[in-house]
Amino acid sequence: MNEKIIKDKLVENFLKYLAIPSQSDDKNEIIPSSPGQWDLAKVLAADLEDLGLVDININNFGVVQARLPRRGDRSRSIGWVAHLDTVDVGLSDQIHPQIIKAYDGKDIKLNEEITFSSKDNPEVLSYIGDDIIFTDGTSVLGADNKAAIANIMTALWYLKENPEVDHCEIFIAFVPDEEIGLRGSRKIDFDKFNVDYAYTIDCCELGELVYETFNAASGTLKIKGVSAHPMSAKGNLVNPIMIAHDFISMLDRAKMPEHTENREGYIWVTDIKSDVLNLRLDFNIRNHDREKFEASKAYLYQITDLLKERYKKALIEIEISDVYDNIADSMNDENKVAVEKLREVFKCLDIEEKIIPMRGGTDGSFLSTKGIFTPNYFTGAHNFHSNKEFLPLDSFYKSFLVTLNLMQDDF
């Protein structure tokens, strides 16, 4: 099958899934958090059926799961997870992409007001001559993560169209609400996701490969002080704001997001709300290193104890809960082949690998807590979560080839 036919199919699928608005909404507690994700889930379930998958199901949380039985003697069972939602960063939820054919290196007028400048985005210059998909300036492009969905669906289509091609048993999970705390991947029916390992396709430019993410926890400090009239405040008033001030002043300023990079972890105070009596302070803890991560938690418990000693009349409580784990922690001798295969495929396809310890999490970080090692590879897009997001077609195609090769597993 020639490259042009596959590229056309990739673009057709991408535009089809982009046309269904599916921004997640972090203010909604329900999963999925937006009706568009249901719509997309239904369309995908129908498409999976057309492609010959079995055990297709949409559960109560909008998670679409399906299975493609193996063909030939490939022994492995491999999963692919992609997310249904696009991110809400205050831009429109309607996505109207534009395809610039044979990009010439000049600035692109995304709309009357917004220009994509090659000076501000010099990385685009490595795609001169390539077709590139841009936004119309009013929204993100949504390659995060609909390029992944289109990629997987196109690979499944290829396998259907080419019945002589053998492949592994393939499990698919399309999950909602990744962008608002990896909520959807928690709702996968893991009894029906019997994989040796899995993949997400949820990072950016050509060659990116992630199998290390943060360990993540979030927490809340609650302080109830003692209020008093100024007439009798002396010796009685306990101001929760001043206690929170002590708490913050005991955090290491050098270990905050604004001062850390690469594998350096941090504590991030993200919110504080108070009146004269009650205060609530929210924070996040992130670290690639499990020991340092646990040490950060222990330190916060320790300073809370110290404050309880110091302010005996106040009620001080701290709560910390884990959000996700470092993908690398679920890697073992059996499943590490997932990364080895990926690197081999990159080599075969002449893709230069860019291994990144990700300062964030992917759906794989939650799967990791379930013992399913889930590395993450590139969609091919740049500038995720921005109206300057763009997807060079050649990189998109290479990402597809990676998926197809992994499904075939014959190298």
Catalytic residue numbers, as ranges: 85, 178
Give min distance, CB of 209 to Zn ion, in A. Answer: 15
Q: How far is the CB of 81 from Zn ion (least distance, A)?
A: 11
Looking up tokens 């991110």 gives 87
What are the backbone dihedrals phi and psi of residue 257, each rounded to the nearest 5 degrees, phi first?
Answer: -55, -35
Footprint of Zn ion on this chain (CB under 5 A)?
144-145, 202
Q: Which amino acid is at 302?
A: Q
Decide: 78 and 170 in contact? Cβ < 8 Å.
yes
Contacts of 119 (CB under 8 A, 6+ apart): 107
Which value, to the nearest 10 degrees, does the dihedral of the CA atoms of residues 326, 329, 334, 338 take? Answer: 20
In the complex, the smallest distance separating the C-beta of residue 408 from Zn ion, rounded to whole angstroms, is 25
d(CA 118, CA 210): 27
Cβ–Cβ < 8 Å for 280, 241: no
Least distance (Å) from Zn ion to the CB of residue 94?
19
Q: Between 180 and 279, name the residue whose CB sits nearer to Zn ion.
A: 180
Q: Which is nearer to Zn ion, 116 or 378 (CB)?
A: 378
Q: Which is nearer to Zn ion, 169 or 202 (CB)?
A: 202
Distance CA 129, CA 131 (A): 7
Minimum CB distance to Zn ion smaller for 200 or for 296: 200
- Can you tell me the distance from the alpha carbon of 223 to that of 353, in angstroms, rounded to the nearest whole number? 48
Query: How far is Cα 22 from Cα 82, in angstroms, rounded to an integer?
Result: 13
Work out the end-to-end distance of the chain between its first and last CA atoms, rounded to an integer number of angstroms: 20
Strands, E assignment, 69-157: 77-83, 98-100, 108-109, 115-116, 132-134
Least Å distance between CB 177 and Zn ion? 11
83 vs 398 by CB, closer to Zn ion: 83
Rounded to whole angstroms, the Cα distance separating 141 from 23 reads 12
Instruction: Give the strand pairing for 169-175 and 77-83.
Output: parallel
Taking the complex as a whole, how short is the minimal distance between the CB of residue 144 and Zn ion, in angstroms?
4
CA atoms within 13 A on the CB side of 388: 15
Q: Which residue reads 């048993």 in tokens?
A: 169
Whichever of 83 and 288 has its CB closer to Zn ion, that residue is 83
